[in-house]
Amino acid sequence: MDLTFTPAEDAFRAESRAWLEANVPHGLRSGDTRDGFAAHLEWERALHEARFAVVSWPDEYGGRGATPMEWLIFEEEYYRAGGPQRVTQNGIFLLAPTVFEFGTKEQQDRILPRMAAAEDLWCQGWSEPNAGSDLAAIQSKAVRDEASGGWRLSGQKTWTTRGAFCTHLFGLFRSDPEAERHRGLTYFLVPLDAPGVTVRGFGRLDGDEGFAEVFLDDVFVPDADVLGAVHEGWGVAMVTTSSERGLTLRSPGRFTATAARLIDLWRERADPDEARLRDAVTRASIDAEAYRWQTFLTVTRMTAGEQLGPESSLTKVFWSDLDVRMHETALELLGVDAERDDTGWMKGYQFALSGPIYAGTNEIQRNLIAERVLGLPRR
């Protein structure tokens, strides 16, 4: 792994930093509220106009053709400048890599430019009432409609992040009820304004309203909106989950920026002779840097043609635990002032608590690590 940035990468960092420092908005409401979501969209459309929304995508789809390393550089500069969490992330960071790998040229041309421009807004339809992290247990079904050239979808998706504000959903449906758990699944793309779709929003622990239940009652989806091969959706979905857990959902720039804020907070609030919190801040900073270098290694491997595998579960457990620890340390530094904090630490802590749950619970990830990375037997 070559850790020396090239002149082109240094120039890209300088261009990104200058634009972000001049344009990043501050003080936006949470993107998981309806008003906040609208404000975030305005920001993300400005990103698109400046061709910073999807820097690693080809020019024809709104990107710059940036290398994976340049994407990491942009992410570092984005969070360094205080950029807000992307409300389009489920489409851009999760679905798009899957469309690039499995989508037809027609699907890529139709879906990707509108996604990059924040015109079509995608949410993830994985979880169901009886199938959260156990994705293979989904029960929502797809029945072939040969006469119409498509499928009829029925069932319920839940815990759908920003589902109440999005326009489209991607998800798995059981297309062969006789097949084994991981087989007979098909990956569908569903417009949320299709007849038979009902979206019902509901609130989260922190008071934001960004979750939704999505009910599908005999919803027709044409063959053109099947992503990948029929009955082989599990393999398609693994590309999405590997991207989610291992690289794109939580880039290291987010954590190195939080670690830098934590150090500033320690300097403001801590007794320099108190060892425990000093050590906690030091460990957080080291772990954020370790995650950064590990991600550089991942990008190096991908650039060499390797694919993300089950080891992405290690990454997901690491960053989600790190996020909780950093925010717990910040609240300790704030003491009683944490209750009335308006600088983002309390809000960030409430969100960090969900990290070990979403994108597949850490308990499930540890099982995957044990079985598929370490080769330990199933109990």
Contact assessment for residue 283 and residue 275, using Cβ atoms and an 8 Å cutoff: no
Residue 244 annotated in active site: yes
Look at the block and give the residue holding tokens 């960004």.
Answer: 210
**74/179 Cα distance (integer angstroms):** 44
> What string of DSSP letters covers 301-355?
HHHTT----TTHHHHHHHHHHHHHHHHHHHHHHHGGGGGG--SSHHHHHHHHTTT
Residues 6+ apart with CB under 8 A from 260: 80
AA letter at 179: A
Choose, from 244, 268, 363, 371, the residue flagged as catalytic. Answer: 244
3-class SS letters over 34-62? HHHHHHHHHHHHHHHHCCCCCCCCCHHHC
Q: Please report which residue ranges of the chain form alpha helices under DSSP H.
A: 7-23, 34-49, 68-80, 89, 96-102, 105-116, 233-246, 252-269, 275-303, 312-334, 345-352, 362-368
Q: Where are the alpha helices (DSSP H) in 88-217?
A: 89, 96-102, 105-116
**Going by DSSP bridges, is the β-strand pair 168-174/122-125 parallel, antiparallel, or unpaired?**
parallel
Dihedral angle computed from the Cα positions of residues 349, 210, 56 and 12, in that order, rounded to the nearest 10 degrees: -50
Q: How far apart are CA 94 and CA 122, in angstroms?
A: 10
Task: Name the residue among 95, 126, 133 with its Cα closest to residue 111.
Answer: 95
Q: Which two tokens stand for residue 91?
A: 């489409």
Which residues carry out catalysis? 244
